Amino acid sequence: MDLRAVSNPAAPVPASATPRLTLYCLPHAGGGAAHFHRWRAVLPDVEVVPLELPGHGGRLAEPVVTDLDELVELLVGELSAAPFALLGHSFGALAAYELARRARAAGNPPAVLIVCGRNGPDTPPVESRLHTLPDDELLARLRRLGGIPDEVAGQADLLRLYLPAIRADLAMAHEHRGAAGPALDIPVAAFGARDDVLTEPRLLAAWARQTTGPFELTLLPGSHFFLHAPAFVAALRDRLGRLPAAA
């Protein structure tokens, strides 16, 4: 296990005409995928492809999926055969892990699995019953975690549109009981923030049990929603840059 501490900022860099890798991104519970687009300016040789889930973001009008196996089955068909990496944040980390397992079983493994803001999948969740809270309590808890942007925090009607997706994702995370079958054999990189109340370093390190390949754990400043902090973007760029050219 390589335990890293990263603090150098990331800066925009010129885009490459021929991306060397596709990065598929999965968001946190209830989250839309659009915010991943901003990485295109700082990952010049990577094609950033956010995976929008039914009932989320740009697919808000569609019914949410409440079964993780069904969700993974929908997503695996969106992966290309070209070299790619998978990244997920919080609930998205769990979905990315199951997607990596499905893709590996189909003979199309990712070059690396990047999991952020989520303890290992065989560890109990720190807060396991968020999906059962009444609406007001759930929204208040999400505000304290930083998961609701200030510009929409006071728009109760708008927030309630996202509650079905949030509850569905949190319920799938709660019901997940670890994966049966062999471990992955690909690199896994876990990222966590030192002030994240939903993770612990020793439980983030439990991701090492999910692969026989290389494992790295990087701890960063910040709290649960750290994906767009300069330190994380710099660390992500570094990790993807260390992949072999042919992935």
Tell me the catalytic residues: 90
Beta bridge partners of 34: none
- How far apart are alpha carbons 183 and 18 in whole angstroms? 33
Helices within the chain (DSSP H only): 68-76, 91-105, 135-145, 156-175, 201-204, 230-241
- The three-class DSSP label of residue 136 is helix
> Between 68-76 and 156-175, two packed helices, what is the crossing angle to 10 degrees?
100
Ramachandran area for residue 99 (φ above 0: left; ψ -120 to 50: alpha; else beta): alpha
Instruction: Give the closest residue to 197 by CA, choosing from 123, 127, 120.
Output: 127
Indicate the length of the chain as a whole number: 247
CA dihedral (85, 187, 192, 120) positive or negative: positive
Q: What are the backbone angles phi and psi of residue 189, rounded to the nearest 5°?
A: -120, 120
